[in-house]
Structures are given as C-alpha cells and as structure tokens.
C-alpha cells in the first residue's frame, strides 16, 4: 500500500493560524476556556476539520469533535486541547489537535478508509487556569465532575462553567463522543528537557506522573524583631525555610525519579519588624512511580517533625490530595513505539511529569501519548518552541500509530459518557 505522508507546510500554517488567535499584548497567547479567543479558535479548528472531511460539532461540555465514519462502530480518538495558560505558547495543546486533523486530512485526500471511525478531539479546558480544575473538560465528559459542580465553578468574571456551556457562543452544531472507543492517542510537546538532552526527537509516553499535595500550617510566636533575642524565638518562617530545603534535598535523593516543590508560602503577620508567627504553605511531590511517591511523602513528614521540634514550632499537616501515577496502556504504547520505528527513529519511552487528558481517559479506555522535543525544555511560556521537523515527525508518528491500531482487534471498551441530552 502506498505510504501516506502528512504535509509539513499545512501543519505549520495551521499551528501558526491558531497561534495568532488570543495574542496577549503582554506576550505569548492567552486563550482561557470559553473566552472570545477560545471561541474563535474553536470555530477556526472546526473549519479545518471540515476541510479534512470531518463532521465538526461541539458537545455539551464544550469539547470540539470532528468525526469520520469507519466500517465499524468502535472509534479511535486522537487530539488534545485548545485552551492555553495565560501568556502561553503556540504548541501546547494546539499541536495535538492540528496533527490529528492532519491525519484525518491525508486519509481523506488519499481516499483511505479505516475499520474504525476516527474522532478528532479538542478538549475545552485542560489547563485549569480559569476555573481551578485541571483536565476539567475530559473529567466532565466521563462524569467525574457533576453538573452541580460545573454550576459552582466560576472564572474571574463570575460566570459559571454551566452558563458558558448553555450559551454555546461558538454557534457550531451539537456533537457527541461515541461511547465505544478502542483507543485515545494524544500528541503533545514534552514540556521538559529530556528529549533535547538525549538528542532525540520523539518518544512514547509510558506513564503520567502521580501528584501529592498537602497544605501545611506552621505556628510559632510573633514578637518584636528587636527586643526578642535570637535564642528566644519561635520563628515560623525559619521552620518553613528549613522545610523548603528538606523537600529539595529529599527529592534530589530520588535521583531523577521524583520532584518536590513548595510554591506557595504565606507569611503572617508579614511585617518588617515582627518575627513571623505563622506560615501557610503547600508541599507538592511528583513521581511516576507510586512507591517512590509514598517513600518521599514519609521522608518529608519525618523531616518536618524534626524541624518543628528543633525550632519550637507547631506544624499541622492537612489531608494529602492524591492523584496516583497512571500507567498508559501497553498495547497503545507498543503501537506508538512501532510507529516511531516505522518513521526511522530509535524507540524510546519516557514518563510524563505533567497531567494530560490522556491520563483521565486512560482510566476507562486504552490511552497513549506521543512526546516531541521542547526546545530548552520550555513550555507555559511565550518562548515555547518545537522545531518544525519535529512537528512533522510527531504528526507522522501519530498517523502511523492510528494505522497500526486500526488493524488491531477491537477492545470492546466504553467511555462512561455523562451526556444528559440525547
């Protein structure tokens, strides 16, 4: 059979077209979910989908869906998200959407039928910036966020998710994701430095990181910063500083298998001449390995206990919010690795240190991801870059993955869709 190839020029044009929607005067792209720029990106992507021979529409959770019928009912899903962080880059999310549309386009242009129906997904809210819930749209799709929760979640303008969804400002027809899904595949930029450091272009993702987050309150004694002698103090911020360094040291000791961050610190009373009496902070730990994550949590708690004793402080830990590591489907991963080899690149698998819609869908149907190199490991930045030849490689690997999965026997797996309308 003739080799079908993605068109690099069209990929670049479409990524740049979407990259022009939501330009922020402060730099980069700001395309928050349901805001006018996001609506425009949705409409532009729907037009691309129609050019690729797909039926385009939007479901009741704001996800853009492009569908091409196959011989069987079961679907292969491919895509990513169209929202960005404030002042983000042009590749995060848009790459996976445009590449999936390109796969549909070349199959359409070549008149190549598939066994499966092919469904291109553009999730509305992955980043979680406007409403504070990451991978919101995919979680809503599978019923992990109920209607009442969506009615409570509000953005900076005070509007709820539910209000935006009912308004359907995009004016596109209604559509639904099919329930019978044999696989979901997402092409994404790595957002880290590993591929570049290895001199590689593309990898299959083996797992999505687990994340533990806990709020901590450290209480000492606020007192005069001049009249209180150094040995007589119970300085909550000194305890917090020791904890910051301890998290760093303990995560480093896991030798690349974990990371740890304290990114939020609130000091009270926060006055120049008062010893800090109270600090509120959040500890975040990540690892793609459940055991490493547990060990690190224990080590951090032990050390925190010692730090509190050393400085005469009270340290109260809130409940750990836990999203466990998600191993991606081995069969989809094998297809991605096979596709990477077909495209003339050496096989490679990596964990993902960031969350993705693929992690949500993988709880219900076989899911996999393809990473392409991020220049300087940068993302969530106006300086986010991926070389155009790597974009082409990633899209071609996505196409080959879909072709390999199309030949595989059906999995008979279903998404627990939370649609209320028929």
Structure tokens at 149: 């929760």
By beta-carbon proximity to Zn ion, the closer residue of 72 and 385 is 385
By beta-carbon proximity to Zn ion, the closer residue of 237 and 369 is 369
Q: Which stretch binds Zn ion (CB under 5 A): 14-22, 92-100, 104-112, 323-331?
A: 92-100
By beta-carbon proximity to Zn ion, the closer residue of 22 and 93 is 93
By beta-carbon proximity to Zn ion, the closer residue of 93 and 368 is 93
Residues 120-159 interacting with Zn ion (rule: CB under 5 A): none
Q: Which stretch binds Zn ion (CB under 5 A): 88-96, 98-106, 241-249, 268-276?
A: 88-96
By beta-carbon proximity to Zn ion, the closer residue of 222 and 395 is 395
Least separation in angstroms between CB 258 and Zn ion: 22
CA distances from 183 to 141, 169, 205, 238, 408 (A): 16, 30, 14, 50, 11
Number of residues engaging Zn ion in binding (CB under 5 A): 2
> Is there binding between residue 96 and Zn ion (CB under 5 A)?
no
Biggest distance spanned by C-alpha atoms of the chain: 85
Please name every residue paired with 373 in a beta bridge, in sequence order, or none if there are none: none
The answer to whether 414 and 179 are in contact (CB under 8 A) is yes
The binder of Zn ion chosen from 59, 60, 83, 92 (CB under 5 A): 92
> Is there binding between residue 93 and Zn ion (CB under 5 A)?
yes
Q: Which stretch binds Zn ion (CB under 5 A): 53-61, 65-73, 85-93, 163-171?
A: 85-93
By beta-carbon proximity to Zn ion, the closer residue of 216 and 354 is 354
Q: Which stretch binds Zn ion (CB under 5 A): 89-97, 170-178, 253-261, 297-305?
A: 89-97
Residue whose structure tokens are 């627990």: 416
| 3-state secondary structure (DSSP) of residue 402 | helix
Least separation in angstroms between CB 129 and Zn ion: 12
Helices 36-51 & 94-109, crossing angle to 10 degrees? 20
| 3-state secondary structure (DSSP) of residue 418 | coil
CA distances from 344 to 337, 338, 396, 397 (A): 11, 10, 11, 10
Q: Which residues contact 156 (CB under 8 A, 6 or more apart)?
A: 130
Kindly list the residues in this chain that would bind Zn ion in the complex (CB under 5 A): 92-93
């Amino acid at each position: 059979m003739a080799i079908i190839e993605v068109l690099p020029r069209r990929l670049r044009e479409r990524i740049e077209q979407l990259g022009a929607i939501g330009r922020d005067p402060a730099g980069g792209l700001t395309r928050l979910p349901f805001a006018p720029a996001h609506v425009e990106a949705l409409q532009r992507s729907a037009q691309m989908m129609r050019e690729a021979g797909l039926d385009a529409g939007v479901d009741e959770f704001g996800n853009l869906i492009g569908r091409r019928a196959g011989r069987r009912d079961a679907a292969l899903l491919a895509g990513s998200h169209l929202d960005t962080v404030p002042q983000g880059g042009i590749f995060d999310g848009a790459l996976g959407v445009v590449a999936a549309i390109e796969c549909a386009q070349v199959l359409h242009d070549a008149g190549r039928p598939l066994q499966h129906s092919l469904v291109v997904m553009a999730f509305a809210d992955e980043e979680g910036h406007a409403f504070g819930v990451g991978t919101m749209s995919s979680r809503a799709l599978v019923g992990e966020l109920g209607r009442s929760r969506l009615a409570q979640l509000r953005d900076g303008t005070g509007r709820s998710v539910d209000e935006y969804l009912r308004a359907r400002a995009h004016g596109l027809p209604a559509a639904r994701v099919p329930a019978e899904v044999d696989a979901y595949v997402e092409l994404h930029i790595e957002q880290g430095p590993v591929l570049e450091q290895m001199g590689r272009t593309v990898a299959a993702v083996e797992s999505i990181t687990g994340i533990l987050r806990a709020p901590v309150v450290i209480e000492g004694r606020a007192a005069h910063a001049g009249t209180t002698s150094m040995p007589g103090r119970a300085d909550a911020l000194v305890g917090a500083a020791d904890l910051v360094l301890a998290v760093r040291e303990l995560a480093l000791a896991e030798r690349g298998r974990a990371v740890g961050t304290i990114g939020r610190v609130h000091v009270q009373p926060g006055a120049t001449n008062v010893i800090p009496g109270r600090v509120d902070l959040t500890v975040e730990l990540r690892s793609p390995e459940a055991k490493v994550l547990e060990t690190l949590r224990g080590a951090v708690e032990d050390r925190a206990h010692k730090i509190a004793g050393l400085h005469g402080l009270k340290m109260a830990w809130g409940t750990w919010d836990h999203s466990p590591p998600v191993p991606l489907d081995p069969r989809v991963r094998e297809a991605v690795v096979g596709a990477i080899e077909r495209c003339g690149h050496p096989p490679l698998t990596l964990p993902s240190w960031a969350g993705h819609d693929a992690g949500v869908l993988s709880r219900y149907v076989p899911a996999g991801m393809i990473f392409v190199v991020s220049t300087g490991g940068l993302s969530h930045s106006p300086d986010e870059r991926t070389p155009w030849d790597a974009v082409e490689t990633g899209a071609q690997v996505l196409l080959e993955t879909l072709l390999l999965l199309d030949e595989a026997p059906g999995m008979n797996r279903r998404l627990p869709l939370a649609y209320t309308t028929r």
